[in-house]
Amino acid sequence: MINPKEHLIGDIYDLPQGTFVIVRGKIVQLDDVQSVLTSYGAQTEVRNRIVSDETASIPFALWRQLASSPLSVNDNVKIYNAVVSKTTNGEPKLSGNQKTTIEFLAPDAIPVTKGSSSYEEQGEVVGFSDISVYKSCSRQPCHEKKLVQNKCPKCLTNYDDESNKLSMSCSIGLLQEENITTVTIFTPQIRQLIEDLHLEEKNNSILEERMLNILPIKVGFTRSPRKDSNTLSLLKKL
């Protein structure tokens, strides 16, 4: 780590994974502390939140002792030594580590945030297609990576014993005014739409029917800022 530079959140999307950065932003969403298993089999705590500035929003995961930092929604913070990493669906996010520190800024320090709710657009989900349920890595750092011949291409764990997870992707039709766009969503976002989602590798027709039955669904969402992407980085049922 060589003197991390201060970046606008919108610029983080162009940085390589593993880059240390300093960012300023407003906390616009804060999840509960979760207990998770690490790739080394240890139990640890993580707290996810979303930080916004005038250029963009980005998820930020705080691990271990940082998970219990006294933070509230609308706090303005300066985060030192955050690391650029990836979310479940390959989008940029920030992670905290032992070197990460958080400084609280004055309430007016972040004048404008991009989408003061973290969900920048609203629309209706009007269609589902291309449902795919697949075996995935159950280790937290691999973010449900799809297995290739029962093996995780990221951590190389072998899942011949069928201790893998099942994950899902599908396309959704998003209606906004008169326009429908098709985007791909993954398990965490699908769970936002369907509570108690139960995945089976076969029999997608039952799942498909169940999904079609709950349409249309009003949602708030943020598109992936990556230019070539048709995925959503955030999705929530309204």
Interface with Zn ion, residue 37, by CB under 5 A: no
Interface with Zn ion, residue 61, by CB under 5 A: no
Range in contact with Zn ion (rule: CB under 5 A) among 44-52, 105-113, 142-150, 204-212: 142-150
Q: List beta partners, residue 146.
A: 136
Q: Contacting Zn ion (CB under 5 A), which of 24, 49, 114, 139? A: 139
Interface with Zn ion, residue 193, by CB under 5 A: no
Comparing CB distances to Zn ion, the nearer of 74 and 158 is 158
Interface with Zn ion, residue 147, by CB under 5 A: no
The dihedral formed by the CA atoms of 129, 134, 136 and 140, expressed in degrees to the nearest 10: 30
Q: Is 99 helix (H, G, I), strand (E, B) or coil?
A: coil
Q: Contacting Zn ion (CB under 5 A), which of 23, 133, 152, 211? A: 152
Sign of the torsion angle spanned by Cα atoms 212, 132, 232, 61: positive
Parallel/antiparallel/unpaired status of strands 76-86 and 43-52: unpaired
Q: Contacting Zn ion (CB under 5 A), which of 154, 191, 223, 236? A: 154
Q: How far is the CB of 199 from Zn ion (least distance, A)?
A: 18
Q: How far is the CB of 139 from Zn ion (least distance, A)?
A: 5
| Residues 6+ positions from 88 with CB-CB distance below 8 Å | 143, 144, 186, 187, 188
Tokens of 101: 């520190």
Interface with Zn ion, residue 137, by CB under 5 A: yes
Interface with Zn ion, residue 143, by CB under 5 A: no
Q: How far is the CB of 75 from Zn ion (least distance, A)?
A: 34
Calpha distance 164→57 (Å, rounded): 32
Comparing CB distances to Zn ion, the nearer of 7 and 139 is 139
Q: How far is the CB of 21 from Zn ion (least distance, A)?
A: 25
Tokens of 160: 């011949």
Cα-flanking dihedrals φ and ψ of residue 212, to 5°? -65, -30
Cα-flanking dihedrals φ and ψ of residue 200, to 5°? -130, 145
Q: Which residues bind Zn ion (CB under 5 A)?
A: 137, 139, 142, 152, 154-155
